[in-house]
Structure 1
Amino acid sequence: MDAYYGQSHILRDLSMHVEEGEVCALLGRNGAGKTTTLRSIAGARPPDVREGTVSFKGRNVTDRSTEDISSLGISLVPEERRVFPNLSVEENLHLSDVARNWSNTVGRDVSMDHPGMSTEEVYEVFPRLEERASQKAGTLSGGEQQMLAIARALKQDTDLLMLDEPYEGLAPQIIQTVENAIERIAETGTTILLVEQNAVAAMNIADRAYVVDQGSIVFAGGSEELRGDEEIRERYLGV
């Protein structure tokens, strides 16, 4: 896949696949092309995919809209989190129900293996959110906002959950909480594609990993293999 922002060539013949039910990490330094990869999969514009294809469950979704791709079961939690700050936690979650119900009314052409969670199920994954249910999202801590952003995605009918830098700016103890939640989500069989600059934390939960540099894949293999490849880690990840 080749993707561009205007005339800037960002992804260069990038090729990767994510197996159903696995946790896959996409790692690399800032500016390597990680977020562009997620946006390309999600159908966001920009970037523009000019060569290659994005396939999901055997279907070419390269030219489909973000809304169409989301309705097929792909959810992206962006780096900015994008919660509604003036609404409560409970109201933020309710909006996800509204979006899911609307999507169901327009019909789906792909069966959902992982229908959206109920609010009660979300609270089981993130008990902190139940404690903050009536609190405005804008007053939550960074970690709590990250939990809410992931929870909103889980309310959708999600087969592939893509997380962009979920650990960014979080204290170590909050990283552990989010990590535990991701592992619990993975146990349900939901496929997870995790983009993260914190390579050590990502490798703790990922089955496989890709390393991207200057828009191209420079490593593909198991997390244990990456841990043992000191040259790749030092050259491209700085760890």
Structure 2
Amino acid sequence: MTDIETVRRYDDAVFSARDVETGYGDLQVLYGVDIDVQDDEIVLVFGPNGAGKSTLMRALFKQLPLWAGTIEIDGEDYSGLEANQMVSHGVAYVPQTSNVFPNLTVAENLDIGSIHARDADDRRQRMFDLFPRLEERRGQDADTLSGGERQMLAMARALMPDPDVLLIDEPSAGLAPQLIERTFDHVDQIRQTGTAVLMVEQNVDAALDVTDRAYALDMGENKFEADAETIRNSERVRDLYLGK
């Protein structure tokens, strides 16, 4: 039986956090968190409200300073990078809110995302192939899109530079129930294109359908880590976090 309480470290990870601590002002939120994302893997972070999940994502993308710990990309320490340098080192981020430019068109949003792209035209077409609805809406302002379409645009804009790792915070937040499965299908398609994904998500059951491994975060600390099937079938995890 898999030991879900031992948080393993993966030496071959494409993206890693080691012993990360951070917070806001004098308030510490994270206490020595470890995260690994391997190549072409979807990794889920879940836990109760206030566990520090969104804080973790902001820290991993260097939008918050690290108080302690390191961030590693392909085994090299990049803890000193600024947020605006992460994209050029293969890491992109989709925050939960304010993740598109509402007064710009779909095409203009993608153009902004193409600043670090090697072949902007090719990448734009790849995004339209991945999200056909965006091609239909390419001339529309982002603030006229539905919630699902805005989430597609946010992911597509982040994917324009062809990152190795995509960090996504709550991809299904605010979406109608019938759109949630489609959103996670898109996350799976992103992985199939060669981009590993680390996502925070409250809809754990739906997210586990496309997840390879998952971490439970609680009170700013790692509690459990295992493959998706083990997490889903753990009575202890269900009692504590899934309500079933």
- Residue matched to 1:67: 84
- Residue matched to 1:33: 52
Residues 116, 154 of structure 1: 8 Å contact kept: no
> 1:237 offset after TM fit, Å?
3.6
Distance in 2, Cα, partners of 1:207 & 1:117: 29
- Residue matched to 1:54: 71
**What do residues 29-85 of structure 1 show as CA deviations (whole Å, max 9, x unaligned)?**
22111111111111113xx31111111111111121011122101000000042111
Residues 40, 49 of structure 1: 8 Å contact kept: yes
- TM-score using structure 1 length: 0.89
- TM-score using structure 2 length: 0.87
Distance in 1, Cα, partners of 2:76 & 2:104: 37
Q: Runs of 5+ in structure 2 lacking a partner?
A: 1-19
- Residue matched to 1:161: 166
- Give identity over the alignment, percent: 40
Residues 81, 149 of structure 1: 8 Å contact kept: no
Q: How many residues were matched structurally?
A: 224
Residues 162, 195 of structure 2: 8 Å contact kept: no
**What do residues 174-229 of structure 1 show as CA deviations (whole Å, max 9, x unaligned)?**
11221111111111221100110110111010000000000001110000001111
- Residue matched to 2:148: 143
- Residue matched to 1:23: 42
Residues 210, 219 of structure 1: 8 Å contact kept: yes
Letter in 1 for 2:32: D
SS in structure 2 opposite 1:16? strand
Moved over 6 A (4+): none
Distance in 2, Cα, partners of 1:34 & 1:182: 18
Residues 210, 218 of structure 1: 8 Å contact kept: yes
Residues 90, 162 of structure 2: 8 Å contact kept: yes
Distance in 1, Cα, partners of 2:243 & 2:53: 16
From 92, 104, 119, the counterpart of 1:87: 104
| Greater Cα offset, 177-186 or 196-205 | 177-186
Q: Runs of 5+ in structure 1 lacking a partner?
A: 105-114
Residues 50, 219 of structure 2: 8 Å contact kept: yes
Structure with a larger share of its residues in strand = 2
> 1:172 offset after TM fit, Å?
2.1
Superposition pairs of residues 225-236 of structure 1, within 5 angstroms: 225-236=230-241
